[in-house]
Amino acid sequence: MEAAPSTSPCRYSYEEYKETADWLLAHTKQRPKIAIICGSGLGGLADLLGDKAVFPYEDIPRFPTSTVPGHAGQLVFGSLQGRDCVCMQGRFHFYEGYDIHTVTYPVRVFYLLGVETVIVTNAAGGLNGSYNVGDIMILKDHINMPGFAGQNPLCGHNDIRFGERFPCMSDAYDRDLRAVARQTAEEQGCGGFLQEGVYCMLAGPSYETIAECKLLQMLGADCVGMSTVPEVVVARHCGLRVLGLSLVTNKVVTDYDSAEKANHEEVLRTTQRRTQDLERLVSQLIANI
């Protein structure tokens, strides 16, 4: 199959992703098989890596840059539990004005680096009434709400070197990795605040209205956020195994008499509170997968 012609509606050609990957391979000795995408306020995960090589996004050819508080904006290569990893300290969101192909640009770069497993983390609002602020949810599925509206990162020319035209998503979140995550969470003392559920992505950046929260609850979503799903779709398209973890940073408001208001300060405060638990969990997970 030929590379996408320049007139293709696909935003980037194989050669562009490859240029970024080759530059990174030439600038680090690490050969990561595991990538970690850090959610809002969860960039501390990258600090766990030893023997680090750090690349600010603006120094990496063709890489987008990160604009959200709580997202540092650098790619960190290093070693964790004796395994080479690459960590995105700051992700890209659709609401920042990036098109959906740019949001997922790093995932195809990871694939070309030789990554096989992606651990995606995020901060999310709890929709499930039995969830508490501070809970960690293993993603077992997602609802791609922007995808319903035509914003799927696989729209456009399909380059078969990445994957097939119509990839399956019923196995998006790897069953074996979820089992390892459950077991590891128990061992690490996180069992008391562990959940497993469905993440729904909305485009953001406005938080949800009360009616929208009620709708999402009816749809079967347990958490809501503004990220993760595009990255997972692209990762699965190119055959990467995915583990998703949400930190429930706030409970969504579903009561018209409530004085609570969703806000990013609370989101970042909760991530600070749970950062050590998450770091312990992810670190041990990497040893166990």
Residue numbers in the known binding site for phosphate are 40, 71, 91-93, 123, 227
Helical ranges in 28-130 per DSSP H: 100-103, 105-113
**CB nearer ligand GUN, residue 182 or residue 269:** 269
Catalytic, 227? Answer: yes
33-62: which residues touch ligand R1P (CB under 6 A)?
39-40
Chosen from ligand R1P, ligand GUN, none, partner binding at 39 (C-beta under 5 to 8 Å by type): ligand R1P
Least distance from ligand GUN to the Cβ atom of residue 248, Å: 8
Count the neighbouring beta carbons within 10 Å of the beta carbon of residue 73: 19
Per-residue x/- track, 116-145, ligand GUN (CB under 6 A): -------xxx--------------------
Whether 95 is catalytic: yes
Selected from 20, 104, 144, 227, the binder of ligand R1P by CB under 6 A is 227
Query: What are the respective helix, strand and coil percentages of the chain, to the nearest 5?
Result: 35, 25, 40
* Catalytic, out of 71, 101, 142, 237: 71
Overall size of the chain counted in residues? 289
CB of 261 to ligand R1P, least distance (A): 12
264 classed as catalytic: yes
Q: How far apart are CA 189 and CA 186, in angstroms?
A: 5
> Catalytic site residue 250?
yes
Task: Tell me the closest approach of the beta carbon of residue 247 to ligand R1P, in angstroms.
Answer: 8
- Residues between 196 and 235 that touch ligand GUN (CB under 6 A): 202, 204, 207-208, 224-226
Give the residue with the Cβ less far from ligand GUN, 3 or 262: 262
Span from 143-151, 215-223, 224-232, 278-286 in contact with ligand R1P (CB under 6 A): 224-232
Distance CA 169, CA 163 (A): 13
Q: Which is nearer to ligand GUN, 85 or 248 (CB)?
A: 248
Which of 21, 137, 221, 226 is labelled catalytic?
226
What is the Cα–Cα distance from 251 to 167, expressed in whole angstroms?
A: 33
- What track of x and - describes contact with ligand R1P for positions 181 through 210 (by CB under 6 A)? -----------------------x------
93 is catalytic: yes
Give the Å distances, CA to CA, from 120 to 40, 92, 140, 214: 11, 13, 12, 26
Q: Using CB under 6 A, pick the residue from 28, 122, 151, 270 that binds ligand R1P.
A: 122
Please give the torsion angle defined by the CA atoms of residues 156, 157, 163 and 166, in that order, rounded to the nearest 10 degrees: 60
Strands (E), the chain: 34-37, 50-56, 74-80, 83-89, 117-126, 136-144, 194-201, 223-225, 241-251
Q: How many residues bind ligand GUN (CB under 6 A)?
A: 15
Which residues, including other chains, have CB under 8 Å from residue 248's CB and lie 6 or more apart? Answer: 124, 125, 126, 131, 132, 133, 134, 135, 136, 137, 195, 223, 270
CA-based R_g, the chain, Å: 18
Residue ranges of the annotated binding site are 40, 71, 91-93, 123, 208, 227, 250
Looking from the CA of 235 toward its CB, the CA atoms found within 13 Å total 28
Binding site for ligand R1P (CB under 6 A): 39-40, 68, 91, 93, 122-123, 204, 225-227, 264, 267
